[in-house]
Structure formats: C-alpha cells, structure tokens
Structure 1
Amino acid sequence: MRRLLPLSLLIFFCLLLAECSKPPSADYPIRPVPFTSVKLTDNFWAPRIRKNAEVTIPIAFSYCESSGRVKNFEIAGGLDTGAFRTLYPFDDSDVFKIIEGASYSLQTYPDPRLEGYLDTLIWKIGLAQEDDGYLYTNRTIAEKHGGKGLHEWASPERWLLDTVLSHELYNLGHLYEAAVAHYQATGKRSLLNIAIKSADLVSKDFGPGKVTVYPGHQVIEMGLVKLYRTTGDKKYLDLAKFFLDIRGPHGEQYNQAHQKVTDQNKAVGHAVRATYMYSGMADIAAIENNAAYLNAITRIWEDIVYGKIYVTGGIGATGGNEGFADPFVLPNATAYCETCASIGDIFFNHRLFLLHGDGKYIDVLEKTLYNSMLSGVSLSADRFFYPNPLESDGRHQRQAWFGCACCPSNVARFVPAIPGYVYAVKGKDIYVNLYISNDAQIEAGGGNVKISQKADFPWSGSVEISLDPSEEGRFTLRLRIPGWARNEALPGGLYKFSDHNNESVMIVVNGENINPEIADGYAVIDRKWKKGDRISLFIPMPVRKVVADTRIKDDVDKMAVQRGPVIYCAEWPDNYEGQVLNLVVGSEPSFTTEYIPSLLNGTQIIKTKGKLTRRTLDGKIEVSDEKDVTLIPYALWNNRGPGQMRVWLPVKPESSKPLPAPTFAYRSKVSGNKVTRDIIAVKDQIGPSDSNDHSVSYYHWWPDKNQWVYLQYDLDKPETISKSKVYWFDDGPDGGCRIPDEWEIQYKSGNAWKSVQAGSPYKVTKNSYDSIEFEPVKTSAVRLMVKLNKEFSSGVYEWVIE
C-alpha cells in the first residue's frame, strides 16, 4: 500500500500543474491560510477533527456500502448486475462528499489503508463513467435495462429535467470538489481526470445555442470554479457563470430562479441551494470583479442577517421548502435549520469576508460554527441531526443515517477543513479570525511567519499568541474583536444584548498594554515583529441575556443566554423532573458559571433560578416555587437521549408552555392507525393560530388518502364524556394535507366500537375548532374517525374530549 506523497513531491506536482495550466491571477483579495498549514492543538476542535477521521468518515463509507450507493457505481461500471439500489438519483453525491472529506482528513491524519480504499473506490467511479464523460449511475444502470428503472425525476434524455429534480449537475458539482481535494491531498490525478472528462462534456453540451437548462440544485458552480483554479482552464469558469446567468426570471423561488441572479434582493426558497448559489456568485465576483454579482449577494446577506437567521446562526425556518420564510418568521419548535444549510452559510460568510475583510462576516460564521452547525453531529461523531430546532418536546433524536444522507456526508467533509477558517492574509496583513489553540505556518508579504495560539475557546477569552517570523520585519496583525465582545449579539440588530457589558478587551504586546485602532471589527497592530514577540488578548466572557426583535413572535417575552460565541439551552437531564418547556426565569435572573470536566466531554455550564408553570382545568396558570436551573451549550443537547429542550427562556408565565391540565386527553394514552413521534401533539394543549401554522406541533396521516383513519384515547378507568372538538391541519395550497371529508366520534362499549349520538351534524372547517356535543357515554376508550379526501391527506393539531 503506497503512502501519502512526501511534501517535496506534492509541491513538485503542484508546480508542474501550475506551469501547464496557468492558474488564475485574479481571485479573492484576501487569501485564506489553508487548513494544511494550521495544526489545531486545542481540546475543543482538535478532538472533533480526529473523531471525524476515526468515526464519521469510516461509518459514512460503511453506510454508502450497505445502502447500495457504492453498489450503484459497481453496477453502472459492469462489475455487478441488477437494478439501481438506492432511493434517490442524487445518492452518488454522498460518495463524492465523503471522498472530499476523506481527502482533507488524509492531509491531517495520513492513513494508507484509507488512501487505498479511495483508490479502489475511484476506480469503480471511473468504470461507471460513460465513454463521453457522462456520470450518473441511475441513468447508466437504467439504460442497461432498456430504460427500465430510470428515476421519475430524470428525463429520458440527459440533462433536460435537471432544473427540476434530476440532480445530474448537482452530483457533478460534488464530484469536482472531491476531485480537487483528492488531487491536492495525494497528488494523484485519478479522480481529477474523471472530473475533467465530465466537465468537458458539460462544457460541450451546455451553453448558448446548446442546452440552456440551469441547475435545479446549485453546487456545480463552486465545483467548476475549483476546477478552474486547479487547471487554469477558463472554460470551467465561463461555464459556472453561464449556469448562474441563465437562471430566472420565470422559474421558481424554491431554487432561486424567480429572478435573474443579479436582480435578487432577498433570500428565498431552499436554504442549501441558496447558500451554494450565493457562494458560487461570490467566487465569480472575486475572480472577475463582477460588481453586479457582488451587489446582489451583499443585499441578500443583509436580508438573511437582518431578519431570517436564528440566534444559533441557523437558517431555514420551514420544513416544507427546507428553507427561508418571510422576515421575522422564525419559529423555534419547528425550526428547520438544516445542518447542510449551516455549512452552506459558513461557506457564504467566509467568502464575503475574503471579499471585504469585515469582521461582521466572521461574527456570523462563528455563531453558526459553534451552535447550529455543531448541533448537527453528536459527541460520539456517529449520530446526526438533519433539522436543528431550538425547542423540543422530546420527539427529536439524532440518527445514525438518513435515506437522504446529505447532512452526514456534509459534516464528514466540513469538519476536517475547520482549521482553514482561522487565519487569512492580504499582502502584509495577517487576519486572526478564530481563537483556537494551534501552530500555523503563514506566508505573508513574501516572508514566512510561524504563529502559535494558546487558548481555551470557547470557554475562556484569554488568548496567548506567539510570533516567529523568518526574519524581523514590519507587517500588520489584525486580531478580530468579536461582535459579542463589543456588545453586538449579531450584526444588524435582529438580536441584541439586553444588558450592556462595560468590560473592555485588553491587548498586551510583550508585556505592554496597547490600545490599537479597531477597524471593521479587527484590532490593527502594525509594527515591526521579531522572533519571540508575544501578544496577550483578554476577551471578557460574561453571561449575556439576548432579546430578539419584537417582530419575531415566537421570541416575545423570552430571552436567550449567551456566553462568548456559545448559545445555551435548558435540557431535560439537568432540570427539575425533566421539564423545561414550562420553565420561567424572570426578566432579571442572575447567573453563575463553571466548567464541568465530566459533563459532555467537558463543558461550561450556566446556573440560574426559575419557576415551573402548569395549566389548571379552569384555564389558569399555576406557578411553582423557585427551582435550580442548569443551562448547557445548545450544540451539545440530545447527547444524553431525547427529552425536552429550549433555547428561548420565557420571562413571563404566559410565554411559557405550561404543563397541560389533567384533562381526559392528557391523562390518556394516545394511539392510532399510524403512530409517529408527532402523535402526542394532539393532546399537548397548544393550539395553532390557523390551520397552516407551522410554529406549533401537529400530527398528520400523509401520504395516506381516500380512506378512513383514526386517533384513539385510552384511560385506565371509564369516565363520562359528552363533547369533543378538533382543530384540523391543512397546508394547502402547496402541501399534501387538507381538511377531511368527514369525521365522527366513536366510543368503546364492551368489545365493540359505537358511534356517539350527536346532537347536530358534524362540521368540517378550517382555521377554527370543529365541535360536537353528544349524548353522554361512559367509556375508557374513544376514537376520532376521519375520512380522508380522495386527493389529499389530513392532520390534527388538537383533539379535545370533555
């Protein structure tokens, strides 16, 4: 088994490729220091990167094998026979993303066995590629069977349904990114040659006067730019721009084709598609100095940060489009905040920083990195969240894998690249963006500078930086002063600290206090530096209370708690009887904080006091005596099993979710013909504002339709009942649920189910409760019978028995 190429040989290959291809001379004005030049030595990120290498990447490849993703390449390449093995035509992309992550990991943790596995896997991918460069296993396998088995999302001809859902170009975008990563890691051209052959075909097929279908799921734009940077072949850059320029104005908001990209002002539609597109636009804006692209993505960034981002840095409020809602529509319990969208937003903000050098972009990046993104993977590195809600009643739990496995594979490729976000360079300016213990080699202004950081971020704001330039000389060190250390919760004011912190950041150079200029969020230290120079940075980290813009309805009369970049939450294992949804902390709580080495692999907790609420049968709210409240970092929730969690803590009893009153429904066991984790929503006593309210939980029978279905309540002992009411879920016109055709109440009498004797006809209406009174019956079991529409399913928010 051959080992990784020695550094000298890798440099030779890179120089050889550079001589042959004439790489681009124009690019971002600020250059990121590659992660290969930054070795993390901290106790927070370094163990996670190692665990990604030891756990995440191996299990991701294992699932790709067991799920049939790898088998698809084998069948397409003639190594095996049979039909397409997986659910979706985009499943090829998971393999490519994990190869990308494995390639990054190899540069930090050389592994000849992994490298050999990649060699074999890439060989299989090469066999699956058709002679002209086309690579899409679903179609290739279907053509072996006379077209049988072609996925319904794909057209009989290549490319023509990519705008919709075929994902042909999406797969290739991830192929190109993986190919560049693998080449850079190993010096091998095996996957790069496959990518170039594919990209040449795409260039041949697409363009003015040829196929003019725009990608339905953006990412190929970024992949083509990486191929351009690697090969210097401008046709790849031109093709990336072509794919962007042909979008709109008559397409869908869902995939950002409703307007020309340069006319767009708002973040709309699917959040991952969006951030990948904005990142591709940023790449081209940098390389071609494209002002129209730059202006558009600047407007869009402001739209996100000023009204569509969660306090955790997550984006994407709704699950129906896996994306953006209107400004200030940011529900917590049903927040989508897809892990992939957090990663995409980090890509986007990093690119904006490289364009402008403004620390506000790193403020957003850091908030997302430490909270919404990190929540997407467990401490064991083998369980993953797809959505990342800010509140849970216990129905959420990370999964080992998904049928649509974009999030685990995205985590696998993102985590090993985190060191590449720490530093950046522009001429003789060195930007220090993130404070993480590391040893780095940085080329700046023609010289080499060794930088070492010692920090215990995110738990402590004390940072020690030592410099070792190759020779004494003048350059500028730009130390980022985070927005949260300047009394800014996030740029734009969507979230603010309710209290003002008067503690100042302190900077000491070689034992001398200095007060440097603060420009664009950075402390600018311009001086002559020599070996052994030391900078001490002290960033205060008090516990801060965060309040939201009052237009965010779900956050009114609530506060979030932040310390440093970390957002905290209350979770069930640490709090009274596992209850946190009915927690009230008051408007002026006091906080203490301590580091617990034995908790969640070592974490800083926050303690305060609070009270618990409960609803009575007469509709009032009871408030308990004071209880101890413990908060943990939001990103670490659900590592001890499912249970209640909330980020936004009520300051008034009315803004909490009181423990339900002991009604017939609440005391019953709920079941039905279709049992899901959402079934308990029908008795949680939290009603919606209308029949299409996605901010509260509901139960549905989708995709069932045109049949009778039911919900059932069972009590231990019979009780007399005489009334029922139901609030229907209806997500029309876009969703698959409508109010049902009819319904009735049945009760159990002996071993038989009987219909109640209703005093009036059953009504079926939207946006209000449908009530029915009936002759009293004594029973221990009652059913809600529902006749679904012929074309649509239905659902229930609340089912009440009295």
Structure 2
Amino acid sequence: MKSMLQKLVLAIGVVVAFSSCHSTSYHSDEPIVEVPFTEVHVTDHFWAPRIEVNRTVSIPSAFRQCEANGRFDNFALAGGLIKGEHKGDFPFDDTDPYKIIEGASYSLAVKYDPNLDAYLDSVITLIGAAQEPDGYLTTCVTNKCERLNRWWGTHRWEKLNSHELYNSGHLYEAAVAHYQATGKRSLLDVAIKNADLVCKDFGPDERQKHVPSGHPIIEMGLAKLYKVTEDRKYLDMAKYFVEETGRGTDGHRLNAYSQDHMPILQQEEIVGHAVRAGYLYSGVADVAALTKDTAYFHAICRIWDNMATKKLYITGGIGSRAQGEGFGPEYELHNHSAYCETCASIANVYWNQRMFLATGDAKYVDVLERALYNGVISGVSLSGDKFFYDNPLESMGQHERAPWFGCACCPGNVTRFMASVPKYMYATQGNSLYVNLYVGSESRVALANDTVTLVQNTEYPWDGLVKLTVSPRKASSFSLKLRIPSWTGNEPVPGSDLYTYIKRDREP
C-alpha cells in the first residue's frame, strides 16, 4: 500500500489551511466536538453494509434474545405486571435491554422505522413500570432474587460489586440516546428519577454512602445526563465517584481489579478488569474535560501511555487474561491465550475518542482506529447475529461465535456501538475541521463561520486512495486537519516501540 500522504487526493473549491491533527488543545477556550453521526451518511462498501446489518439483523436479534431469556420479563415482574420468578444469572442483565435501546435509538435517528419506534415504546413502558417510587431500578433487587444474593446481598446498595450503579449508567446512556433520537422523555424521565436518587444516596455527606461506583459507566452516563439537562448535580456526582476511587471509605477494601487500589491521581500502570478500566478512564476524561481539571487529565495520560506502550495488542485489543478478564503484567501479550474482550475494545475506542477531543492529538485516533478495525468488529459476524466474547489472536479451531451468552454484555454492546460509528469520523473546533477516519461518506459539517458539505470517496481500508470534495455554503477560509495514520510511517503504534515493522524505513 502506498503512503497515505502520497495517495491522498483532494478536490477542494475553497481556500483551506492544512495541518495534521497533532496539536494539543486541552487548554483551548474552544472545545473540540464530534460532528453528530446524524450528519454523516456512510456510503462505502466496508462500514455501510455493517451498519445496515446492525440495524436490520443485530438489533432485532438481540431484542429477540432479551425476550427469550427473560430480560423483559424481569422488568414486568418488578412492575407487578406478571407473576413468576426472576430469570437470568447476573444482576447486570438489566443492561442488555438498555444497550440495545441505545443502539436502536441511534438507528432511528438515522433511518426512522415506525415499528421499531413503537417497539421501543413498549419496552420503555416495562422499564418504567419496574422503577420503584423513589427512583430505584435494579430488577433482581426489587424482585428479591435470592439466587443472586451473593451479588447484591439483602438490600439495595449493600455491596459495591452489585452492579446497581452499572445498571444506572447504562440506563442514562440509553435514555439520552432515545431522547435525542425521538424527542420523547419517557425513558429520560426514568433516568432522571434514578439519578436524583443516586445523588441523594451517595456523596460526601456523613449520611450518604461513600464508595466508588464498582463497575464504572455511571460516570459517563451522568456526564451525558448533565449535558442534556444542564443540571450541575449530575456532573458533581460523576466527579464524586471519580474522586472516591482509591479512598477506601465506608470499609470498602481497595482492589486493583476495580482500579480503586489507589486514587486515580496516583495511578501510573493500567491494571485490573479491562472493561472497567476503559469505562472508568473514559468517565475521568469526561469529568476532566467538563470541569477543566488538568490534574485528572494528566493522570489518565500517564495511564494511557502505559496501556499503549506496554499492554496493547496489535489488534487494539486490551486485557490479556481470562482470569479477571483483565490486564496481566507489562508486555504479557500472548496470542493463543489472549482474552481481548469485545467490550474492552469498545471501551478502548470510547477512551481514545475522549482523549482526542481533549487534546486534538492524532495518536489517540491512531489507537482508536486500530481497535475499531480489528478488536471491535472481530466481535460480530458479517451476518450480524453471532458474536465473540473474547478474541484470541490464534486458535486451534475451537473458537466460534455464538448468538448469545449467559453473560450477554458483548452482543448488546456491539449493537449500540456499530450504530454510532459515523460519529468518530469528524470533529470541529471553531473554524477547524478534523478528518479523523477515512470512510466513504457524505456529510454536513457546521463550522463557526460556515456550513460545509464534505464528500469522501475511498475504498479504505482496502486501498489508501482518498478523495475529498469540500463544498462550503459560501466562500470562506477554514482549517482542514487531516490525520496521517502513524502506520503509514514507521510506527505501527504511535510513540511506542512495542511493535515494529520487520523492515524499517519502508519504501512508500
């Protein structure tokens, strides 16, 4: 493949200032923001079919699995709509419908489907019925499922690792997506009621519970809820959970598995459960960006460096060990025993996207791209209805995708992620337009002084030829920042000698 620089062809009818996106803008008054995926219409032969299969196959298939495996019944049981026993083996089974609702909402925003819209309304009705009067919502606790007592104990919020706050985080993300896609407040009001309870029950007051979130994602969810409602208490709550990490208050035992073995400001090595780590540091990045907290941002920069230079698979996968679904020691990157959970690769994309938005540094998109094209999409079949939970780099032939899992976090996660892929392609900062991913598409991008139509024609990743046609609404001058992937030079992974080409100083 020829050098990306040599094969980049531009057809532009405006005055444009070019630069590569390696600048640092964390301290800039103007934030870098994603171009909404609803403004990006993918037309290529690589991503467009996958996104459509996700809409027409993966999402309906995952919903059918929720029906067959009792996910919806648990909400109906908690709401008193049916009688019976709680189903499933995990307290976080509630998150499966939440994740799929999020993905379905993204799909609705791009291509409206009245049947899907009505189906979501029916599912949300069940979720609303299951919510307790004060806002609490975890069905296995409401249903008093004694089989799962080892997880949640005998009453709400008893055990840190109960996943109650994890359920809440996925609820918030689904609610925001559904509200933004449809304008309906049905699920958003459920999420707000739950978040208000969390803000009441957790916090620094002596009458409140003092623990980190356990399995992070509520931090990201609260940040999204803050952006939609502009209610500061949700951002403050997200920051509280970040700050509580590593304190060991209320008798909580510090544990590297959950990344709360020490305060985040003291952490330098990435350890523990890989999905939890990716979600936690994504939440820290959200809090740091929204509060302008440079100390937390510098801490996750250190942790990111450790991940990218010592614990990252060539596929962009993270988490080498099946035991604990997490990280081993530095440089433990075996192929046959690699775990590389699909959800961990998705979390890696989330984290790197936030690091890019905070800095404008292309190295984060380089790692994002590697995880996206390898670690994430390996987790779903081209047919869209079978999934990998873990993704070893070599197999004796015994490793096959499955339509569902008892612990079904990955299928639902894939459905919500695939629907949102277009949002990682472009970003803006004032009058600058970042081109981060090369995907055939037609997009409408709002800059500070103009609105630009941008058309990409490319067979990437099969070919490096990229043609960009830029059509502003009016004659204007703006910056177009094109990412030159690090792999086109001599760095498979940016800023690291973790991987090298067999032949250095390659001919273009």
TM-score normalised by L of structure 1: 0.58
Structure that is richer in helix per residue: 2
Distance 2:332 2:49 in 1: 36
CA contact (8 A) 2:286 2:354 kept: yes
RMSD between aligned alpha carbons? 1.3
1:297-321 CA distance string (max 9 Å, x none): 0000000011000111100000001
Provide the C-alpha distance between the structure 1 equivalents of 2:360 and 2:462, rounded to a whole number of angstroms: 26
Structure 1 residue aligned with 2:435, among 426, 432, 446? Answer: 432
- For 1:415, give the aligned amino acid: M
**Inter-CA distance 153–81: structure 2 relative to 1 (3 Å threshold):** same
Contact 1:453–1:463 at 8 Å: present in 2 too? Answer: yes
Q: 1:213 offset after TM fit, Å?
A: 2.2
Aligned match of 1:179: 175
Structure 2: distance between partners of 1:273 and 1:338:
11
Match of 1:422 among 415, 425, 428: 425
Q: Are the counterparts in 2 of residues 28 and 354 from structure 1 also a CA contact under 8 Å?
A: no
1:333 paired residue number = 336
State the Cα distance separating 1:226 from its structure 2 match.
Answer: 0.2
SS in 2 for 1:254: helix
Equivalent-residue separation in structure 2 for 1:150 and 1:217 (angstroms): 17
* Equivalent-residue separation in structure 2 for 1:214 and 1:499 (angstroms): 47
Match of 1:48 in 2: 50
Match of 2:64 in 1: 62
Please say if residues 42 and 455 of structure 1, whose CA atoms lie closer than 8 Å, have aligned partners that are also in contact.
yes
Q: Which amino acid aligns with 2:215?
A: H
SS at match of 1:56: helix
Report how far residue 362 of structure 1 moved. Answer: 0.7
Deviations 1:309-345 (A, max 9, x none): 0111100000001011111011110100000000000
Structure 2 Cα separation of the partners of residues 412 and 302 of structure 1: 29
- CA–CA distance in 1 between the matches of 2:69 and 2:378? 25
More strand by share: 1
Q: Give the letter aligned to residue 498 of structure 2.
A: L
CA distance in 2, matches of 1:106, 1:370: 24
Larger Rg: 1
Per-residue displacement from partner, 1:30-88 (whole Å, max 9, x unpaired)?
11111111000000000000000000000100000000011000110111011111111
In the alignment, which residue of structure 1 is the partner of 2:364?
361
Asked if residue 198 in structure 1 is aligned to residue 194 in structure 2, the reply is yes
How many angstroms apart in 2 are the aligned matches of 1:139 and 1:185? 30
Q: 2:264 aligns with which of 252, 261, 265?
A: 261
Once the two structures are TM-superposed, the CA of residue 502 in structure 1 deviates from its matched residue by 5.0
In the TM superposition, what are the counterparts of 1:251-290 in structure 2 within 5 Å? Answer: 251-290=254-293
Cα distance in structure 1, aligned partners of 2:172 and 2:92: 15
Whether contact under 8 Å (1:177, 1:223) holds in the other structure is yes
- C-alpha distance in structure 2 between counterparts of 1:298 and 1:364, whole Å: 14
Which whole-Å CA distance do the structure 1 matches of 2:102 and 2:396 have between them? 36
Letter in 1 for 2:171: L
Secondary structure at the residue paired with 1:314?
coil
Aligned to 1:495, the other structure's residue is in SS state coil
The one of 234, 237, 240 aligned to 2:238:
240
Alignment map for 1:206-605 (pairs within 5 Å): 206-208=202-204, 209=206, 210-250=208-248, 251-491=254-494, 492-500=496-504, 502-503=506-507
What letter corresponds to residue 204 of structure 1 in structure 2? K
Residues matched between the structures, number? 473
2:118 to 116, 119, 132: 116
- Equivalent residue of 1:478, what SS? strand
Query: In the alignment, what sits opposite 1:614?
Result: none
Displacement of 1:126 after TM fit?
Answer: 0.4
The one-letter code sitting in structure 2 at the alignment partner of 1:97 is K
What amino acid does structure 1 have at the position aligned with 2:163?
A: H
After superposition, the C-alpha distances for 1:431-463 in whole angstroms (9 at most, x for unaligned) are 100110000010112310000000001101111
Partner in structure 1 of residue 17 of structure 2: none
Paired with 1:270 and 1:28, the residues of 2 have a C-alpha distance of 35
Q: Distance in 1 between matches of 2:396 and 2:469?
A: 47
- Inter-partner Cα distance in structure 2 for 1:331 and 1:249: 34
- 1:155 aligned partner: 153
Aligned residue in 2 for 1:169: 165
| Matched-pair contact (CA < 8 Å) for 2:274–2:319 | yes
C-alpha contact (below 8 Å) 1:160/1:213 kept by paired residues: no
1:149 Cα deviation after fit: 4.9
Once the two structures are superposed, what CA deviation does each residue of 1:357-387 show, in whole Å capped at 9, x if it has no partner? 1111111011111111111001111110001
2:90 aligned partner, one-letter code:
Y
1:38 aligns with 2:34: no
AA matched with 1:103: S
Tell me how far apart the structure 1 counterparts of residues 247 and 355 of structure 2 sit (CA, whole Å).
25
Residues 1:60 and 1:499: Cα distance change in structure 2 (over 3 Å)? same
> Partner of 1:100 in structure 2?
102
Q: CA contact under 8 A between 2:247 and 2:263: conserved in structure 1?
A: yes
Answer yes or no: is the 8 Å Cα contact 1:74–1:128 preserved in 2.
yes
Match of 2:139 in 1: 137
Residue 22 of structure 2 corresponds to none
What SS does the corresponding residue of 1:262 show, helix, strand or coil? Answer: helix
Residue aligning to 1:613: none
- Partner AA of 2:499 in structure 1: Y
* TM-score, length of structure 2 as denominator length: 0.91
Q: Distance in 2 between matches of 1:141 and 1:66?
A: 19
Q: Is the contact between residue 435 and residue 453 of structure 1 (CA under 8 Å) also seen in structure 2?
A: yes
Distance 1:213 1:261 in 2: 14
Match of 2:11 in 1: none
| Map of 2:12 onto structure 1 | none
2:141–2:155 CA contact under 8 A, matched in 1 = no
Task: For 1:650-665, list aligned pairs within 5 A.
Answer: none
Q: Aligned partners of 1:417 and 1:79: how far apart in 2?
A: 34
What is the CA–CA distance in structure 2 between the aligned matches of 1:202 and 1:138, rounded to whole Å? 18
Moved over 6 A (4+): none
Q: Which amino acid aligns with 1:58?
A: P
**Structure 1: which 5+ residue stretches go unaligned?**
1-25, 505-802
1:257 aligned counterpart, secondary structure: coil
**Structure 1 counterpart of 2:455, one-letter code:** S
Partners of 1:151 and 1:470 in 2: CA distance: 61
Question: Letter of the aligned partner of 2:345 in structure 1?
Answer: S
Q: CA deviation at 1:249?
A: 4.3
1: CA distance, partners of 2:232 / 2:153: 30
CA-to-partner distance for each residue in 1:649-703, whole Å, 9 max, x for gaps?
xxxxxxxxxxxxxxxxxxxxxxxxxxxxxxxxxxxxxxxxxxxxxxxxxxxxxxx
Higher relative contact order (CA 8 A, sep 6+): 2
Deviation at 1:139, TM superposition (A): 1.2
Tell me how far 1:152 sits from its aligned partner.
2.0
Aligned residue identity for 1:286: A
Q: CA deviation at 1:247?
A: 1.3
What letter corresponds to residue 97 of structure 2 in structure 1? V
Verify the 8 A CA contact 1:437 1:454 in the aligned structure 2: yes
Residue 91 of structure 1: SS of its match in structure 2? coil
**C-alpha distance 175-28 of structure 1, shift in aligned 2 (>3 A):** farther
Amino acid at match of 2:297: L
Per the alignment, do residues 120 and 235 of structure 1 end up closer, same or farther by CA in structure 2, a change over 3 Å counting?
same
1:80 aligns with 2:82: yes
Once the 2 structures are TM-superposed, how far is the Cα of residue 168 of structure 1 from its aligned partner? 0.3
CA-CA distance at 1:155 after TM superposition: 2.2
Equivalent residue runs for 1:686-697 within 5 Å: none
